[in-house]
Amino acid sequence: MPNWIPITINDLQDSKVAALVVALQSAALGAGQTDPTPRLTQAVVDRIRRKIASCSVNQLDADTTAIPAGLKTMAVDLILAEMKGRLEEPLTDDEQRKIDLHNSDLNRIAECRDTVEQPDSAIDAPVQDSSGNPSITCGRREKLNRRVL
Which pLDDT does position 13 carry in this prediction? 81
Mean pLDDT, range 87-113, rounded to an integer: 95
Question: Does 44 reside within a domain?
Answer: yes
Q: Rounded to two decimals, what is the model's pTM?
A: 0.78
In which domain, by residue range, is 110 found?
4-124
pLDDT bracket for residue 145 (50, 70, 90): very low
Which pLDDT does position 71 carry in this prediction? 97
Phi first, then psi: give them for residue 60, nearest 5 degrees: -110, 160
Question: Does 138 reside within a domain?
Answer: no
Question: Does 139 reside within a domain?
Answer: no
CB of 27 closer than 8 Å to CB of 90: no
Question: Does 134 reside within a domain?
Answer: no
Task: Look at the chain and report how many structural domains it folds into.
Answer: 1
Buried b vs exposed e over 49-62: b needs ≥16 C-beta within 10 Å? bebbbbbeebbbbe
CB of 122 closer than 8 Å to CB of 62: yes
Which pLDDT does position 119 carry in this prediction? 94
Question: Does 148 reside within a domain?
Answer: no
Does residue 134 have a pLDDT over 60? no
- Least confident segment among 1-15, 63-77, 90-104: 1-15
Which residue type is seen at 137?
Answer: T
Question: Does 12 reside within a domain?
Answer: yes
Question: Does 41 reside within a domain?
Answer: yes
Question: Does 145 reside within a domain?
Answer: no
**Sequence-separated (6 or more) residues with CB below 8 Å from residue 7:** 41, 44, 45, 65, 67, 72, 75, 76, 79
Which pLDDT does position 21 carry in this prediction? 76
Residues 32-74 pLDDT 10s: 778 788 899 999 999 999 999 999 999 999 999 999 999 999 9
Does residue 87 have a pLDDT over 60? yes
Does residue 131 have a pLDDT over 60? no
